[in-house]
Amino acid sequence: MEFARYWRYHGLGGLDLMRAQFVRHRFARHSHETYAIGTLEAGQEEIRFADGVQYASADEVVMIEPGVVHTGEPHTTDGWAYRVLYPSVEQVREVADEIGVPGGTPSFERRVVADPRLSQRVAAAHRAAESGGSLAADTELHMLLTLVLAAYGTRRPQRQAHTVGRRSVAQVRDLLHATMPDPPSLAQLATVAGVSPYVLLRSFRRTYGMPPHAYVTQLRVAKARELLRQGMPPSQAAVTAGFCDQSHLSRHFRRLVGVPPRAYQRGVQ
């Protein structure tokens, strides 16, 4: 049996959380604007990154940085059950500054760690936020980020984009942001970059982990999430974000977020 609950905790400036059990569901390639810190309560998850595949089991902790493209799917027929928190870059950076983790953007030495005690703290913070008690939840969440960064945190300089032709793929990415929900064609993007479509596809995928069209789908889902949080009906949010209709949004939304648009909207309002 599959289920998923997604909601927003409004303490600490706002934090999204999800609790789910998946048996057949497979996440499409995606990344988060936030960090993702979670723990498995049962089963095994297979997570594909650009640099390889990792597996997470019960009582292990998964830590994924913003912008890291990955998938998620069951590693066994039993699927996996987990709790995950999505702290913002600002929230994590503030804690890193407090405990003196040196350098630039907070990062993690490893993505999957076998640390039962930390796993218990992830679950405790998650349950506290789920119960709605703000003081206890604020405390547990802040302590969790402190423990995660103290044990596994580091800082690394931002990755530089590959340069192609006259302009970098970062400029092509910026153009996709500026023109969403109706971006230019691949040929037009290649002209802007001053290279062939093939070279642009290869360079963009190498830098951002997915081709431009998949990147735009992720941008559209992110826009739909923003509109849903504001109370816009899913049918209207779909069209505004650039999807053909609500069913088109729903299909991509669940592949990337894990829950349908209406369930997401109920949880974050």
Last residue of a domain, one of 156, 173, 202: 156
108 and 28, same structural domain?
yes
Last residue of a domain, one of 138, 156, 174: 156
Report, as ranges of residue numbers, the positions in the chain whose pLDDT lies below 70: 102-103, 133, 156-167
Residue listed under structure tokens 């349908």: 260
87 and 68, same structural domain?
yes
253 and 186, same structural domain?
yes
Respond yes or no on whether the N-terminal peptide bond of residue 181 is cis (omega within 30° of 0): yes
180 and 78, same structural domain?
no
264 and 167, same structural domain?
yes
Residue 22, strand partner residues: 80
Question: Around Cβ 114, how many Cβ atoms within 10 Å?
Answer: 12
Which range of residues forms the domain containing residue 47? 3-156
State in Å, rounded, how far the first CA of the chain is from the last one. 26
CATH of the domain at 111: 2.60.120.10
209 and 82, same structural domain?
no
Task: State the Cα–Cα distance between residues 6 and 268, nearest whole angstrom.
Answer: 7
pTM: 0.87
150 and 41, same structural domain?
yes
114 and 209, same structural domain?
no
Q: Which among 128, 122, 123 has a CA at the least distance from the CA of 144? A: 122
CA 93 to each of CA 12, 46, 106, 146: distance values in angstroms, whole numbers, following the listed order? 13, 28, 6, 11
Q: Specify the pLDDT at position 102.
A: 67
pLDDT tens digits for range 239-258: 999 999 999 999 999 999 99
Last residue of a domain, one of 132, 156, 180: 156
Residue type, 114: A
Task: State the Cα–Cα distance between residues 41 and 168, nearest whole angstrom.
Answer: 42
112 and 21, same structural domain?
yes
CATH of the domain at 218: 1.10.10.60
Q: Specify the pLDDT at position 12.
A: 85
Q: Specify the pLDDT at position 103.
A: 65
242 and 194, same structural domain?
yes
107 and 34, same structural domain?
yes
When divided into structural domains, the chain yields a total of 2
Q: Specify the pLDDT at position 15.
A: 92
146 and 31, same structural domain?
yes
Q: Specify the pLDDT at position 109.
A: 86
